Amino acid sequence: MRNFSQIVGVSFGFFVWALGGCASGPRAFTGGAYDDPTRVELLDDKFNEADMQQMADTMIKSLVACGYVSNAPKPPIVIVEKVANRTQDHIDMLSLTNKIRTALINSGRVRFVDKEARETLDEEYDYNAAGHVSAVTQKKRGNQVGADYILNGSLSTNVQELGGTKFVYYKLTMNLTNLETSTIDCTQEKELRKKFNKQTYGL
């Protein structure tokens, strides 16, 4: 009988320990599989990849169809600025900016100069001029292509809550500004509005 009581006591202690560990310790995710990145799943009320994709698609189609781009004798040269985050959320604006730029480049209707690479380019010009590179392949200053436009924009949001319902509104605005005249030759807005219901817990 004593052995049986000891076994029961040890088993109960192990059960409590295991239950506590499961409740407080981190959980491992297993059985992973690839998922479709274009599928829309609203897991929470935050800005997600589906929002980013919808906004990027709208901007790309609009900018490519803009008369100053579509009727240009050759693809305009553009400098892209990172989209400004005017929301209270932590959003990867660089990913949004890069998604728009990549799609525009692949369209063949717009070309971009890399503003972020200017410091590296200067270093390479100095390296070339120092005699480390053959005269045939040497690159010199003064041959860069000047930009025709600056592409910039901002993302803003508005949140409203009424009872157990929450509405989240996002608006992305993008402008293509003529570098010589400072006129905004192309502009586009994309709006998203999502509705969420507050989850209730019952006993």
Q: Domain holding 103: CATH number?
A: 3.40.50.10610
Residue 151 included in any domain: yes
The H or E element containing residue 167 is: strand 165-178
Residue 27 included in any domain: no
Residue 7 included in any domain: no
Residue 41 included in any domain: no
Flag the least confident range among 3-12, 75-84, 186-195: 3-12
Q: Is the pLDDT of residue 184 over 90?
A: yes
Q: What is the pTM of this model?
A: 0.72
Helix, strand, or coil here: 163?
coil
**Residue range of the domain that includes 188:** 46-129+141-197
Confidence of residue 15 (pLDDT cuts 50, 70, 90): low
Q: Is the pLDDT of residue 16 over 90?
A: no
d(CA 180, CA 149): 8
Task: Domain count for the chain, please give it.
Answer: 1
Residue 19 included in any domain: no
Which among 154, 173, 171, 188 is positioned nearest to 68, based on CA atoms? 188
Residue 68 included in any domain: yes
Residue 184 included in any domain: yes
Residue 33, token pair as written in the block? 């599989």
Flag the least confident range among 25-34, 46-55, 145-154: 25-34
pLDDT of residue 109: 94
